[in-house]
Amino acid sequence: MINQRSSREPIICVLCSIERHLEKIKRKAIEAGYQDNTMIVSGVEHILKMCVYNHNSSPENHIHFTIRLILYILPSRNSFYGLITKVANKFIEHRSLECALIDMLVLLSKYRDELQLPQHRVIDNNFKRIFSEPKAIYQGEFNRYIYPDTGDTDDTDSEAEIEDFNEYYQTLAPSKEEQLDRLERDIKK
């Protein structure tokens, strides 16, 4: 998604720019020998899928996801410096990957400042794990972020699911006759 500011100067979509940086990180991580199931490879790949999904959704979801991604990784100015330090210490042996990660943090910090995003207190540090725990096994931690908030919760089950559960539960529970027999035996003891 590229918009034109003037005939010469294109404005590149923020999410497109983030996607390009994520693709570079994934490529550099694979070149550095990280396994496919690690946070820095598989986690980044999952974030790329989220970017594509949100890119193809409504503009409101697109913007909301971009802001949320920036705030989850860099909730405050101090978090930028902390992550830069972690990256510099963790990726000494893989300079090209270190540079790609730092470029990503610089980009996010730039957009954070340009969008004038407020300080944000985030308890969830999953996205930061790409920078701080790259070798950790990715276990689908980002699955809950793929779709924008719709106000619905996944905790509500459909009536059919509840009915299926009740049916299954009834097959596990002893019949009334078995329960009465057990009670009679317990009383006789």
Bridge partners for 3 per DSSP: 11
In a structure prediction context, what are the per-residue pLDDT tens digits for the chain, which is 189 residues long? Answer: 434 344 444 446 788 888 999 999 999 999 999 999 999 999 899 889 888 888 888 777 778 888 888 888 887 777 888 889 989 998 989 999 999 999 999 998 888 888 887 776 665 677 888 888 888 888 888 777 665 444 444 445 566 666 665 665 555 566 777 777 877 888 887
Helix ranges restricted to H, 74-172: 77-90, 95-114, 129-132, 159-172
| Residue that is written with structure tokens 């992550």 in the block | 83
Amino acid 188 reads: K
Task: Identify the CA nearest to 103 among candidates 45, 5, 28.
Answer: 28
Question: How far is it, in rounded angstroms, from Cα 57 to Cα 27?
Answer: 26
What is the sign, positive or negative, of the torsion defined by CA atoms of 119, 122, 128, 132?
A: positive
pTM: 0.68
The helix/strand count (H/E) of the chain reads as 8, 2
